[in-house]
Each structure stands twice: as C-alpha cells, then as structure tokens.
C-alpha cells in the first residue's frame, strides 16, 4: 500500500512487536506492495525486520485470499483466524525443508500473528534485500522446480492447519445485488459513479461469467483429482531473488489446499509450455497432469473475485488517495475498455 492508515498508532505497533521480543529503535512506513501495510523496523542490535500490518476488513475482500464461506457477514475474527492458519501453513512448509518459503517468524510462544486493536493483525518477517522476478538464464527452470516442490509437499503440513479451497466466489451475492440495482448512483466517493457506469456496461458479460464459473466448479469437483498445497498468487511481485541468488516466494496469506492449477494462471512464468518445463516441474515427483477445466475455472474465479473486490471498494466510502487511484487505474485498464 502507498498510504499509511489515517491516525494509525505507531506506538501501539511498537508495543505489539514486543511479543516477538523486539526492542524497536526505529520504525518507518514502506509504501510497497498491495493488500497490506508494511514497515521497516530496526531493533537495538541493528537488525532489520519487515513488519506487515493487515487490515482485517480488507482481508475479507482480498483477491483470492483466505477462503471464507459463506462470507455473508463481516467477521473480523474469522478473517484473523484464516490469516493465522495461512501463516502457520507457511511456517510448517519452511520448517519442513522448503527453504524458499518466506514465512513469518514466530513469537517465543509460537504465535505467527498478533491482533492490534480490533482492526489490524501484525506479523514479522526477516528483511530481505531482493531482486524481484525471474533472474538469470535459468530463472524459469528454478521457479518451476520450486513450484513442483511446493505441490509435492502436502505431507509436510499437519492436517487441519491449511484451509481447503471452496472453489467459490464468496462475494457473488453482493455483486449480483449491486448489478441488479445499477440505476441508483454510487455516491460513496470520487470513483463511485465512474465505476457504476463500467459495471452497467459489463453486467451481461459478468452474469455470463458467473454461469460459466458454476459449470466449471461442478466439473472440477466431479473430476476428484488430487489437491495440493498452493501459494495462490504466483505473480512476479511474489517471486523474489535475493542478492545472494536465493529464490524466495513471499506473501503466503493466500495459501490453501486446492487444485494445482490455482498456481498456473498468473502469467508466462508458471505456464508449462515445453518438455523442459514439464521436466523441471515434475522433478520433485509432482503429478504431470494438468486439468484445463481447472485452469479455466481459476481464470474465472480470479476475474470474478477481482470484480467483486472492485465493486465493494468503489461502492464503499473512499477518498482520492494514491491507493484508490492505483486501484482505479487497474480497474479501468482491465474492464473499462471496449475489448476487455
């Protein structure tokens, strides 16, 4: 995020960080990433830490985030527990030998997450000097090998910790309600009315997408293929190469057990195109079978979840700040053009 929450209490954050036995000497806001607020903390020993402050309300609408069902009610405790399970899954993967999992550190009591007031959750990660994205001539091969190792690691995580994907679009009913009342103006903020115009134009297409998603989900459930541990957001921003050439996967708040295809809809980096790609991916004994129906399903889930998120965002009270401008630019470029 680019803007620190208004009236955020940094002193309360420093106090919360004491649960990790961190004696913080400096704390600075980092305008990086999306979906959470980040701080650079330096302790009394000079060590740097990457502190994440998640807005729990935002996690209810996060893109392909922890899957809550039925999601009809806003329940921040449910959001906290789901985020906690995701981070515990990441810790189990790291402790089980997957060195590429950039998981949070735990408190002396084994906690991965602490509540800050009612609205926020705090986690702490080792600070990394990084070069994002694929790196070097063998970067693609290394990434596919890493993805194969993740998908072969189901036994690494104790049962009951990771969530299981529901193949749903949890905010479906809220979006459908909005689509059925597009005559009423969205006076929630500067982007409300422009967003309503786009949704009005796209409504028939969105309804068709929901119908197709329903068919695809039924087909994937009926196929009963093995499910694996998936990262959930395998885009280039979450693929990190460190200065000493280690590959790390970051941002594990969306990890769930799901069809492997969930991780294969994020761009060319994770598409299996050649024999060499398949060899790299299956080097950890991952199944070579890819279900194209599941690929299509997750493309629909991703698009519909994005539309649900945008609908909630622009129908809710908002101001014209850097974060909302970035969201509007993404929404406009993806959905407002004639050929989308």
271 against 126, higher pLDDT: 126
Report, as an integer, the average pLDDT of 186-210: 96
Give 337's pLDDT tier (boundaries 50, 70, 90). confident
Q: What is the DSSP string of 155-202?
A: GGSPTTSS-B-----TTHHHHHHHHTTTTS---SSTTHHHHHHHHHHH
Residue with tokens 């969105």: 206
Name the pTM for this structure.
0.89
Region label for 287, one of left (φ > 0), alpha (ψ between -120 and 50) or beta (otherwise): beta
Report, as an integer, the average pLDDT of 261-284: 86
pLDDT at 44 over 90: yes
pLDDT at 231: 95
Segment 51-86, tens digit of pLDDT: 999 988 777 655 444 444 434 456 788 889 889 999
Give 309's pLDDT tier (boundaries 50, 70, 90). confident
Give 289's pLDDT tier (boundaries 50, 70, 90). confident
Report, as an integer, the average pLDDT of 295-309: 92
pLDDT at 150: 96
What's the token pair of residue 259?
Answer: 């069809």
CA atoms lying within 13 Å on the CB side of residue 89: 29
Give 89's pLDDT tier (boundaries 50, 70, 90). very high
What is the C-alpha separation between 11 and 8, in angstroms, rounded?
9
Cβ atoms 138, 277 nearer than 8 A: no
């Amino acid at each position: 995020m680019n803007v620190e929450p208004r009236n955020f209490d940094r002193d309360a954050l420093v106090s919360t960080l004491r649960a990790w036995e961190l004696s913080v000497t400096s704390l600075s806001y980092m305008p990086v990433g999306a979906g959470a607020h980040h701080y650079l903390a330096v302790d009394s020993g000079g060590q740097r830490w990457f502190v994440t402050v998640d807005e729990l309300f935002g996690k209810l609408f996060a893109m392909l985030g922890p899957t809550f069902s039925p999601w009809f009610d806003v329940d921040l405790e449910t959001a906290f527990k789901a985020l906690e399970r995701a981070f515990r899954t990441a810790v189990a993967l790291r402790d089980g030998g997957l060195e590429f999992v950039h998981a949070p550190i735990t408190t002396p009591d084994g906690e991965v997450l602490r509540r800050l007031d009612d609205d926020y959750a705090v986690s702490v990660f080792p600070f990394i000097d990084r070069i994002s994205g694929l790196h070097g001539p063998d970067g693609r091969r290394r990434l596919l090998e890493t993805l194969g190792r993740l998908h072969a690691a189901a036994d690494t995580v104790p049962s009951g910790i990771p969530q299981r994907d529901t193949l749903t679009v949890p905010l479906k009913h809220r979006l459908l309600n909005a689509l059925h009342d597009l005559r009423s103006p969205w006076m929630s903020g500067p982007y409300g009315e422009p967003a309503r115009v786009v949704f009005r134009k796209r409504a028939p297409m969105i309804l068709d997408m929901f119908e197709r998603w329903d068919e695809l989900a039924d087909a994937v459930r009926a196929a009963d293929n093995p499910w694996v541990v998936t990262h959930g957001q395998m885009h280039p921003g979450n693929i990190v190469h460190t200065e000493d050439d280690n590959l790390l996967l970051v941002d594990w708040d969306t990890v769930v057990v799901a069809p492997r295809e969930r991780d294969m809809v994020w761009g060319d980096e994770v598409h299996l195109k050649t024999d060499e790609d398949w060899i790299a991916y299956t080097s950890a004994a991952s199944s070579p079978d890819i279900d194209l129906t599941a690929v299509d399903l997750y493309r629909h889930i991703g698009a519909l979840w994005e539309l649900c998120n945008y609908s909630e965002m622009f129908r809710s009270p908002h101001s014209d700040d850097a974060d909302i401008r970035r969201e509007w630019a993404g929404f406009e470029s993806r959905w407002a053009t004639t050929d989308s």
